[in-house]
Amino acid sequence: MKKLALSSLLLLLLISCSVNEDEPDTYWKVVNISVNANDWIRYTDNNGLNPYYACEIPMPEISSYVYSSGVVQAYYVEESPSRFQESLPYVRHYENNTNIWTTTIDCAYSAGAMTFYVTHSDFANVPPAAMTFRVVLMW
């Protein structure tokens, strides 16, 4: 009788712990975002120094559950000369005949919103062009 009870208990445990192949363990969603050139807003500190540009995008896809228990990964999508994507933060160094600078593109998110930032290391007052981003949410 003990063997039958033990066997029944083990069978019950195996059935209850089996993985259902029809239901994924992880959910994900990809959101493509286009930011127009006139969507960028210039910000500075209280002294009018350290300027950067930002654009906040409403993202209802970032629920409070995704915010607290999931993963949000953002990419900058470069359209030319050929299409590719780079994980944020995106940092590139540039020079011309008179100047050397670095441009950094990064982001921050909260439940319901995502903000993209562009900062030039020389703090030039050069608004960003239109940009495309790809946001991957996993929970």
Residue 38: CATH number of its domain:
2.60.40.2080
pLDDT at 27 exceeding the cut of 90 = yes
Whether residue 15 lies inside any domain: the answer is: no
Q: Which has the closest alpha carbon to 118: 47, 41, 31, 38? A: 41
pLDDT of residue 81: 73
pLDDT of residue 7: 58
Q: Which residues constitute the domain of residue 48?
A: 25-138
pLDDT-above-90 percentage for the chain: 76
pTM above 0.85, yes or no: no
Whether residue 9 lies inside any domain: the answer is: no
Across residues 78-89, what is the average pLDDT?
A: 87
Whether residue 8 lies inside any domain: the answer is: no
Whether residue 94 lies inside any domain: the answer is: yes
Tally of structural domains, the chain: 1
Whether residue 16 lies inside any domain: the answer is: no
